[in-house]
Amino acid sequence: MFGLGFQELLLVVLIVGIMFFVGPGIFHLVLRAGLAILKAPIRVLVALWIVQTVFVTLKETRPNMLASEFVIAVMVIAVLTIPQVALQFVWLWIAGSVVRFVGLTRLGTAWRDMASLFWQSLRRRRTTETN
């Protein structure tokens, strides 16, 4: 009476499939398109951050806000969306690992490599000076 039925099990499988295949797959395609257009991972990161900030600002602000309230809201949202963008890359890497474990090694490796490429673009570049 309290166990999972076939419909509930199908729903769980569907949710896990969307979580591990559809979401990261779409994000990977967006990243590839962004790299093709903007030519640099750091530019794509900034573009994703701006798009996320605009989307959340449009969703969370109300039309009758004062200008000062709106500016404060945009600044707070801009700071809070940085971890959201970073977590999308973390999720892409985790989903790539799970997909590789399941057996789709090329797809999983592509997802993990894309996430690693963007994380490496954030590293500080060291210049070597020779005197």
21-77: pLDDT as tens digits: 888 999 999 999 999 999 888 899 999 999 999 988 888 888 888 888 888 888 888
Range of the domain at 56: 21-121
Domains: count for the chain? 1
The overall average pLDDT reported for the chain is: 86
Domain for residue 102, yes or no?
A: yes
Domain for residue 35, yes or no?
A: yes
Q: If you ran DSSP here, which 8-state letter would residue 21 be given?
A: I
123 CB-side CA count, 13 A: 8
Domain for residue 44, yes or no?
A: yes
Say what the pLDDT of residue 36 is. 94
Domain for residue 16, yes or no?
A: no
Q: Pick the closest to residue 56 from 80, 30, 28 (CA basis).
A: 80
Cα distance between residue 8 and residue 118, in whole Å: 37
Domain for residue 10, yes or no?
A: no
Alpha carbon 122 to chain centroid, angstroms: 15
Domain for residue 126, yes or no?
A: no
Q: Pick the closest to residue 85 from 15, 20, 19, 30 (CA basis).
A: 30
Summarize pLDDT for 80-129 with one digit per residue, the tens: 888 988 999 999 999 999 888 888 889 999 999 999 888 888 876 666 66
Domain for residue 12, yes or no?
A: no
